[in-house]
């Protein structure tokens, strides 16, 4: 048994646990042991709940032995990004300002994992408050890419992507505000799904950009992604922005997964694709050819406002963030500065000490964009651009079932390579940001490697609430290309 989570996907592991062929305790022990050995290099985990995970695995084994019914993730080891609240341990968002913070409530998605008898192994590293594209903005540790230890895993859900790619959990949850699930999934060669805004409850997800944030799975296979969506999707009375079944009916996303989509029309945006590295473009084109060979029709189309997405995003996301992060003030919880001279210093010094540079930068940018005299020029303008971007997609989806494009212009870059220039880092989000602005679902599925054996992702974007069809489209390709069978060579 080299690495059980790389040998089998979540669906297969669950089957073995439920049949009694493999105990959850054995499975969880194996993965915890792998974490102990491998995570010293990968650094995907901020917290590991070893004792609690084993206790829970034993409890699930006992229930299976009794013949009791168990959930869709019975006994399977999962891990969650450290911006999801879980009563079991601290929730830090990889920030010093929340070091030691214990949420007295579980995020709705965490509750749903537990309801389906998942075993939560631990909390995964991320860019501080999900702000970043490389996980280098974590104040806790530097996560590396399992395909090349000198490279970043992507971000902000870098810990989630690295852990899944390295087999340090079966499946993981991440969050995606501007590409934070899809880009690390692409960098680490796993499947990453950002559902439609409103499909999954955000309750207990520490907010970054509230109108953009969405929780989603990072998995090794499309089937696991569908299974995870089954578990986490659905109405939650605690989240006003989470839609009910009347607005968008739920379905079993695994049900027709292997049925190819007939008469598939794929939108491509040539203008946009030329911005990517040559090897990324080649991989994309090869994937598109494969779809064509499966009977799909390619339609060239334009997303005329896509070029403005980064500008609009960095105004809207930071404006919301400046407000969402105002609560970290050293008064009610979290880090407080020593010996403040007055209560105003409790704020200004605690925040200056507790936040890292990127978080401060974004708070500053967002505060500026909302401040008196600049609101109309920045924030209001960005909301209008956002509407234009959404309209682009509405028009596009009248002509096609999905749009395909790269996830990132490059494959995983070297640690430290891009940290000096924040704007250059932002510009690399060009392909992922539009889906968040438009609120539509998008996923990344592996589509090959570059000459350095670094994974490349194919991005599929679909109309709101079309996840079932998007997953089928992704599965068509996965089944044919079999990229998911490739695993990083970690010695």
Residue 153 CB, shortest distance to another protein, in Å, is 23
Closest Cα to residue 189, out of 404, 452, 463? 452
CA distance 161 to 42: 11
DSSP-assigned states of every residue in 206-220: PPSSTTT-EEEEEES
Residue 341 CB, shortest distance to another protein, in Å, is 8
CA distance 421 to 368: 20
| Of 359 and 445, CB closest to another protein | 359
| Of 52 and 367, CB closest to another protein | 367
Cβ burial, residue 294 (10 Å; 0-12/13-18/19+) = middle
| Of 6 and 317, CB closest to another protein | 317
Sign of torsion over alpha carbons 14, 20, 21, 27? positive
Helix, strand, or coil (residue 46): strand
Residue 261 CB, shortest distance to another protein, in Å, is 25
| Of 66 and 332, CB closest to another protein | 332
CA distance 249 to 245: 4
Catalytic residue check, 81: yes
CA distance 343 to 348: 9
Residue 434 CB, shortest distance to another protein, in Å, is 11
CA distance 181 to 176: 5
| Phi-psi region at 30: left, alpha or beta (left = phi > 0; alpha = psi -120 to 50) | alpha
Q: Which of 24, 133, 170, 180 is an active site residue?
A: 180
| Of 45 and 347, CB closest to another protein | 347
Residue 136 CB, shortest distance to another protein, in Å, is 16
Helix, strand, or coil (residue 389): helix
Cα angle: 444, vertex 39, 147; to 5 degrees: 45
Residue 487 CB, shortest distance to another protein, in Å, is 33
Q: Which of 81, 123, 349, 418 is an active site residue?
A: 81
| Of 15 and 331, CB closest to another protein | 331
Q: Which of 23, 134, 139, 156 is an active site residue?
A: 156
CA distance to 195, 269, 281, 308, per residue, from 392 (Å): 19, 12, 22, 12
Cis check for the bond before 156: say yes or no (omega within 30 of 0).
yes
How far the first Cα of the chain sits from its last, in Å, is 15
| Of 171 and 369, CB closest to another protein | 369
DSSP label at residue 485: G
- Phi and psi at residue 39, in whole multiples of 5°? -75, -10
Residue 157 CB, shortest distance to another protein, in Å, is 16
Beta strand pairing call for 402-406 and 265-268: parallel
Please identify every residue annotated as catalytic.
81, 156, 180
């Amino acid at each position: 048994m080299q690495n059980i989570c790389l040998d089998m996907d979540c669906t297969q592991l669950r089957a073995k646990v439920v049949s009694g062929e493999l105990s959850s305790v054995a499975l969880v022990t194996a993965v915890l042991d792998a974490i102990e050995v491998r995570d010293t290099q990968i650094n995907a985990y901020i917290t590991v709940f070893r004792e609690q995970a084993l206790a829970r695995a034993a409890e699930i084994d006992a229930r299976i032995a009794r013949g009791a019914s168990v959930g869709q993730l019975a006994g399977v080891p999962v891990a969650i990004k450290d911006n999801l609240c879980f009563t079991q341990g601290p929730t830090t968002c990889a920030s010093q300002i929340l070091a030691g913070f214990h949420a007295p409530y579980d995020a709705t998605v965490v509750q749903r994992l537990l309801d389906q008898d998942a075993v939560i192994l631990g909390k995964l590293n991320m860019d501080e408050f999900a702000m970043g594209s490389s996980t280098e903005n974590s104040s806790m540790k530097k996560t590396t890419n399992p395909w090349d230890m000198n490279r970043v895993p992507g971000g902000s859900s870098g810990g989630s992507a690295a852990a899944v790619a390295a087999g340090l959990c079966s499946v993981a949850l991440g969050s995606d505000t501007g590409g934070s699930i899809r880009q690390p999934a692409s960098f680490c060669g796993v499947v990453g799904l950002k559902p439609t805004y409103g499909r999954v409850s955000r309750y207990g997800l520490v907010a970054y950009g509230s109108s953009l944030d969405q929780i989603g799975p990072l998995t090794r296979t499309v089937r696991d992604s569908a299974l995870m969506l089954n578990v986490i999707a659905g109405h939650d009375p605690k989240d006003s922005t989470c839609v009910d079944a009347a607005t968008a009916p739920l379905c079993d996303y695994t049900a027709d997964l292997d049925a190819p989509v007939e008469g598939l029309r794929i939108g491509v945006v040539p203008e946009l694709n030329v911005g990517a590295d040559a090897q990324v473009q080649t991989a994309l084109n090869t994937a598109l050819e494969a779809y064509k060979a499966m009977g799909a029709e390619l339609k060239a189309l334009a997303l005329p406002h896509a070029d403005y997405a980064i500008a609009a995003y960095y105004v809207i996301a930071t404006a919301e963030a400046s407000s969402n992060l105002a609560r970290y003030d050293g008064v009610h919880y979290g880090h407080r500065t020593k010996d403040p001279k007055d209560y105003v210093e409790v704020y200004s010094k605690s925040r200056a000490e507790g936040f890292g540079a990127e978080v401060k930068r974004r708070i500053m940018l967002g505060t500026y964009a909302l401040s008196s005299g600049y609101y109309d020029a920045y924030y209001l303008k960005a909301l209008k651009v956002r509407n234009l971007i959404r309209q682009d997609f509405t028009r596009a989806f009248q002509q096609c079932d999905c749009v395909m494009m790269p996830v990132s212009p490059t494959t995983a870059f070297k640690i430290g390579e891009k940290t000096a220039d924040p704007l250059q880092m932002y510009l690399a989000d060009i392909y992922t940001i539009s889906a968040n602005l438009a609120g539509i679902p998008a996923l990344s599925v592996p589509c090959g490697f570059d000459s350095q054996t670094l994974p490349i992702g194919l991005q599929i974007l679909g109309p709101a609430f079309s996840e079932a069809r998007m997953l089928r489209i992704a599965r068509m390709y996965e089944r044919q290309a079999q990229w998911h069978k490739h695993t990083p060579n970690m010695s």
